[in-house]
Amino acid sequence: MIRTARQIGRAMAGLILLLLAGCATVQPWDRDILAEKKMSFNPSPMLQAIDDHIYFSKEASMGGIDAGGGGCGCN
């Protein structure tokens, strides 16, 4: 169990380094599309929060939610 966690931890560190290194660069004047509101990892936060709560109470998993957020007696 701990072995798997370490492997995943290492994989994640590797992924983060890959992101850090990266290849392409986007010039500041090409960031028009990225500035749109729908270009977000969480474009509908209210809906996402409701979903996270539903799945948290019907499944055993958690995470992906921001740190914190209400607890409930549902799991």
Summarize as ranges the residues that interact with other proteins (CB under 8 A): 1, 4-5, 8-9, 11-12, 15-16, 19-20, 22, 24-26, 28-44, 46-47, 50, 54-55, 58-64, 66-73, 75
Q: Is 57 helix (H, G, I), strand (E, B) or coil?
A: helix
Task: Give the C-alpha distances (Å, rounded to integers) separating 36 from 9, 20, 46, 56.
Answer: 33, 23, 18, 30
Q: Is 65 helix (H, G, I), strand (E, B) or coil?
A: coil
Shortest reach from residue 9's CB to other proteins, in Å: 8
* Amino acid type, 53: H
Shortest reach from residue 11's CB to other proteins, in Å: 8
Shortest reach from residue 72's CB to other proteins, in Å: 6
